[in-house]
Amino acid sequence: MTISAETPYRLRYGAEAAFDVPAEWTEVLELQLAHRSVRSYRPDPVSDETLTALIAAAQSAPTSGNLQLWSVVAVRDNARRSRLAHLAGDQGFIEEAPLLLVWLADLARARQVTTELASPSPGDPDFSAAEGADFVEAALLSFVDVALAAQNASLAAESLGLGTVFVGAIRNRPLDVAAELGLPSNVFPVFGLTVGHPADLTETAVKPRLPQQAVLHHERYALEPQAAHVKAYEDLLNAFYTRAGLPTSWITRVAHRFGTTAGLKGREHLRAALKTQGFELR
């Protein structure tokens, strides 16, 4: 299969990337490769049936040991969405989208199960502190679980003709978000996801990614060759930025993000906020 595959590879990697495609091509690959962020929505609501389907897709994602260490709050109320938009960097598209999903790392349910619902057998150790949930491992399990789930929901939405965008800025003021959503201890907002009917798909475009050779390693990892791939990517992405009327230079963006603490724009307090919400990160 070549025609429909060639185009998505070209948009992701540039015209010069030459990849052979599998003998079989699928609608899933087609949709995944066509992904773009959508930040402009029509006011039409997302139906209850659609929300059910998105969450069923999310719950069908893999979850480590079937622990299911995540939850999600669906926010449709205009006033609440407006307040959350303010907390997440005053981004207007959060108000515009009819549905905001706030994805939560959730160790509270596992703690409740461990300390209140389990009936220890004779010889079992003392489970009453749910000590295992205090560790980085437990937090990592929940962060990975919620991301796997949310990606399924996002792709499911796209398959239904909806558009989405992840909102990391929900972590700008996580304790205020927690208060707004009534989150108890051991529940933390990891990211948002706006969902809605795209207002104008031509407004967005498939964004090129790093050359596949930069991220895919065979048998052992190699850092040294990546500089050349990054430089090639800088040129490819600058052409994209220029077409989109945006400031150029991926390298500059990365450097401004990680060069100093100020680049984190408040999220340097994330560890303290996690601790306040009961994530000890031992």
Q: Which is nearer to its own copies, 15 or 281 (CB)?
A: 281
Nearest to 195 by CA among 52, 31, 30: 52
Q: Which is nearer to its own copies, 199 or 214 (CB)?
A: 214
Indicate the helix (H) or strand (E) that contains 11.
helix 3-13
Q: Which residues is 163 bridged to in the sheet?
A: 196
Please report how close the Cβ of residue 199 comes to its own copies at its closest, in angstroms. Answer: 19
Residue type, 219: E
The total of other beta-carbon atoms located within 10 Å of residue 89's CB is 15
Nearest to 91 by CA among 235, 214, 191, 231: 191
Q: Which is nearer to its own copies, 124 or 202 (CB)?
A: 124
Please report how close the Cβ of residue 37 comes to its own copies at its closest, in angstroms. Answer: 7
Q: Which is nearer to its own copies, 47 or 242 (CB)?
A: 47
Sign of CA dihedral 142, 148, 149, 151: positive
Q: Which is nearer to its own copies, 199 or 213 (CB)?
A: 213
Please report how close the Cβ of residue 76 comes to its own copies at its closest, in angstroms. Answer: 7
Please report how close the Cβ of residue 52 comes to its own copies at its closest, in angstroms. Answer: 5
Q: Which residues contact 226 (CB under 8 A, 6 or more apart)?
A: 214
Give the tokens for residue 189.
């907002």
Please report how close the Cβ of residue 31 comes to its own copies at its closest, in angstroms. Answer: 6
